[in-house]
Structure 1
Amino acid sequence: MQRYFLPDRPVDNKITIEGDDFHHISRVMRMEAGSHIYTVFPDGQTAVAVITAIHAASADAEIEEWVEKSVELPVDVVISCGLVKGDKFDYIIQKGTELGAAGFVPFEASRSIVKWDQKKGAKKTERWQKIAKEAAEQSHRSQIPAVSEPVSITRVIESGKDFDVKLFAYEETAKTGDMSAFYEALSGLSAGKRIMVVTGPEGGFSDKEAEQLTAGGFTACALGPRILRAETAPLYVLSAVSFYTELMR
């Protein structure tokens, strides 16, 4: 059953679907009156609805039952990633959303190969949010991860005050053979906690950035004994959190 994230709560269990979602229902899926869909509302509540009418620019639907089951991670995981080249960040958002990320905060790292173009920034951020929405629909989530415009590493560090656990994946830590920090961080997680993990761009963190993060209360950690690509590290983090908080318990 197809899933759609809607901007407003229903009134008397009645729903009107417009815009891109209506286009998808009518032109892509070619649904008709009687078709069933999942609808997800801003508070994360999900319902099964039946389409009652298809109009020229909108569809009407009515809620049949509310769905109580949640597939969200029991902890909020926000990934802050140094800007990466090409469409790698698109990939991180898509797969990271499927794996349960609560949000993505790209930042301009000193070793980022790609530089942020302010003129094209709004359109690119809009594209990232659309990727997150589509991935959330595909993976049957009840929340769409927030994707921010790129910020400075200073802003990343400042935002860390809102999190219970703060880590950054540092290859120099992996080289020393100390694998304990990431495990210890996960073992201390309980439902409702918030964790931010910062990962670097293709060139990794500079010494200055590592010092800034450490001074800001972030703990350096290794993600296993191997050095991961910039687009692999965030997905490793989310997979590990899912395994520890959902499968082991």
Structure 2
Amino acid sequence: MQRYFVSPEQFNEDRVIITGEDARHITRVMRGKPGDTFIVSDGVSREALVKIEHIEQTDVFAVVIEPLEMKQEPLLKVTIAQSLPKGDKMETVIQKCTEIGAVHFVPFVSARTIVQYDAKKEGKRLDRWRKIAKEAAEQSHRNMIPAIDQPLSWKSLLDTFSEYDVVCFCYEQEHGSQLRDVLKPFIAQTLQKPGTTASLLLLVGPEGGFTEEECKEAEEAGAVSVGLGRRILRCETAGMVALACALYESGEMGGA
């Protein structure tokens, strides 16, 4: 069933108003008419099955048929910190990791980042990333849209490590700890009680990977260096693999 995210202000006790691009999608693409049903979420605390009551020019007015339980989000809250890759690879990372279950994206600039960061152009790029996240969240029936930050410097990213329960530095040179070696005991300790949550930050490098100095700095800031197997993954693949492994290990996909 079609799903749309709206702001909490558009969602009152028994009615909802759909505006903008979503309203155009309902009326022009889906050919919506009074009586048609779809799901609406405010991305925070409310979700419901609604029915179109009437359509006025650019707005769609719907009435709540049935409140729905918000139970699509994983208990392990994973943030993907991705060093800015070339081309449209970041769009792929955001789309696919949103579908898998990431709750937050933090783009950053590292020593081997190839693309030139341009603050003037970044606003439009950020808008596009957020639109991609919204559409992917709707398609995959998420209860919320992942947050996407403005790109950070490497130093600024290091300063955020204390905000997470555990930070994993995905490093292709790591031949000791593998991701599961770190996640299994962490999850066993933090997600024992039903309903509890935990936060994980996954750091993924650019096309050329991280430097040894960055690995040292990350570990000094509190990260654990981990490998993702014996094969070298593309930068746009590594985050997806690490995220899927983390959610599986947490029991989201039948693991743990």
Q: TM-score range by the shorter chain?
A: over 0.9
Q: Does structure 2 conserve the Cα–Cα contact (< 8 Å) formed by 1:181 and 1:219? A: no
Q: Where do 1:170-249 residues align within 5 Å? A: 170-173=171-174, 176=175, 178-189=176-187, 190=191, 191-245=196-250, 246=252, 247-249=254-256
1:71 and 1:19 map into 2 onto residues whose CA distance is: 26
**Match in the other structure for 1:95:** 96
**3-state DSSP class of the match of 2:235?**
coil
Deviation of 1:113 (Å): 1.2
- Provide the aligned length of Structure 1 versus Structure 2: 246
State the match for 1:4 in structure 2.
Answer: 4
Given that 2:179 and 2:228 are in contact with CA atoms closer than 8 Å, whether structure 1 keeps it comes out as no
Gaps of 5+ in 1: none
Q: What is aligned with 2:123? A: 122
The answer to whether residue 104 in structure 2 is matched with residue 106 in structure 1 is: no
Unaligned runs of 5+ residues in structure 2 are none
* Structure 1 residues 187 and 238: alpha-carbon distance in aligned structure 2, compared to 1, 3 A threshold: same
Counterpart-to-counterpart distance in 2, 1:226 and 1:37? 43
TM-score where L is the length of structure 2: 0.92
Whichever residue aligns with residue 158 of structure 1, its letter is D
How many Å apart are 1:183 and its aligned residue?
2.9
Q: Which residue of 2 aligns with 1:72?
A: 73
More deviation, 131-140/37-46: 37-46
Letter matched to residue 248 of structure 1: G
- 1:186 Cα shift? 3.8
8 Å Cα contact 1:179/1:224 also seen in 2: no
Cα shift at 1:181: 4.9
Residue equivalent to 2:62: 61
Going from structure 1 to structure 2, the CA distance change for 1:25 and 1:206 (only over 3 Å counts) comes to same
Pairwise CA distance, 1:244: 1.5
8 Å contact kept, 1:179–1:223: no
- Tell me by how many angstroms 1:44 deviates: 3.7
Conserved? CA contact 1:166–1:195, under 8 Å:
yes
CA contact 2:46–2:70 (8 Å) conserved in 1: no
SS of structure 1 residue aligned to 2:121? helix
Corresponding residue for 1:23?
24
Which secondary structure state, in structure 2, belongs to the residue aligned with residue 39 of structure 1? strand
Measure how far apart 1:180 and its partner are. 3.9
Shifted more, 129-138 versus 44-53: the winner is 44-53
State the distance in 1 between where 2:242 and 2:36 align.
38
Shift of residue 69 of structure 1? 4.8
In the TM superposition, what is the alpha-carbon distance from 1:16 to its structure 2 partner?
A: 1.1
Corresponding letter in the other structure for 1:183? D
- CA deviation after TM superposition for structure 1 residue 205, in Å: 0.5
Assess, with a 3 A threshold, how the Cα gap between structure 1 residues 212 and 159 changes in structure 2: closer, same or farther: same
Distance 2:70 2:18 in 1: 24
More displaced 10-residue stretch of structure 1: 5-14 or 197-206:
5-14
**Which stretch has the larger CA shift, 238-247 or 56-65?**
238-247
Distance 1:74 1:103 in 2: 14
Please provide the CA RMSD for this pair: 1.3
Note the alpha carbon deviations across 1:56-89, whole angstroms, 9 max, x for none. 0101001111111511111100000111001100
Contact 2:109 2:151 in 1 (8 A): yes
